[in-house]
Structure 1
Amino acid sequence: MTPHALAKSAYAPQNALTNDPKRIEFAAFTHVTKMLTEVQSGKRLPLGYKAAAMHDNRRLWTEIAALVADDDNQLPKDLRARLFYLAEFVAQHSSKVFSQDASVQPLIDINAAIMGGLNAQEAS
């Protein structure tokens, strides 16, 4: 990015994305799911890219686990429990994917389901 572009973006009005937690969540899921899809595609990617994709996805789900484990979280308890379980599954499955013992597709499917839920919430 050029210095001019950096300055322009620094002084630009705040994007609506930064004000809406649902959009931030959706953007995070979109980013990591795109990376996972590229890993799944079988393209010749550097090993570091696969590691970054798995790490970013795992980090996103670790953050979700921490948020839903918080007693002050206002989501229904059953939803919090299901999200926490998914976070545990993602952590375990990610290790299997990285060691090439499992497909990345379940991680993509989980993220896509979450993105669908976030889209449904925004539409209502």
Structure 2
Amino acid sequence: MSVTYGMSQYQNQSGTYLPPREVEAMAFRHVNGLLSAAKTRSDRQAALSANLKLWGILMQGVQRTDCPLDAILRKDLTTVGTWSMRYANVALNSDTSLQALIDINRDMIEGLSASAAPSPYAGPAASNETRAAIQMVG
């Protein structure tokens, strides 16, 4: 069953329509909740797997020839997505902090959210000074 089919079935049953941007923001909020709550090794692996899956789906969409985003945004999302997926793969086999992934996902939530109201699922607001330093290399 594809995500698109599942969403269409949900919308048919609920009688409501969620814009694709809000669905994507909800997915990032969900993954951030998993990453923030991961205390055990199995919870951590499940959260990182969910993060990998989410970014994988997003990158597949960005790389489609019919993607409506402009070329610069597509390139930027591919760069960030590739970095996030590499970081998550490293974190699967180490005790690397998950805060950098949470911060990247929070940035995505902010970019996707139509309203300026902060979401309770985005995690605590982090100023630029308190965010983990991220170096996108390789």
TM-score range, shorter chain: 0.7 to 0.9
TM-score by length of 1: 0.76
Any unmatched runs of 5+ in structure 1?
Answer: 1-9, 40-44
Any unmatched runs of 5+ in structure 2?
Answer: 1-9, 117-138
Q: Between Structure 1 and Structure 2, how many residues are aligned?
A: 106
For 1:57, the equivalent position in structure 2 comes to 51
Is the partner of 1:123 in helix, strand or coil?
coil
Indicate the structure with greater helix content: 1
Q: Does 1:22 align with 2:21?
A: yes
For 1:84, the equivalent position in structure 2 comes to 78
Is the partner of 2:14 in helix, strand or coil?
coil
Deviations 1:12-66 (A, max 9, x none): 95253x5321221111011000111123xxxxx3322111100001100000110
TM-score by length of 2: 0.69
Identity %: 26
- Where do 4+ consecutive residues of structure 1 move more than 3 Å? none
Give the Å deviation of 1:99.
Answer: 1.8
Amino acid at match of 2:64: D
Deviations 1:70-97 (A, max 9, x none): 1110101110111111111111101221
CA RMSD after TM alignment: 2.1
Which structure: larger Rg?
Answer: 1
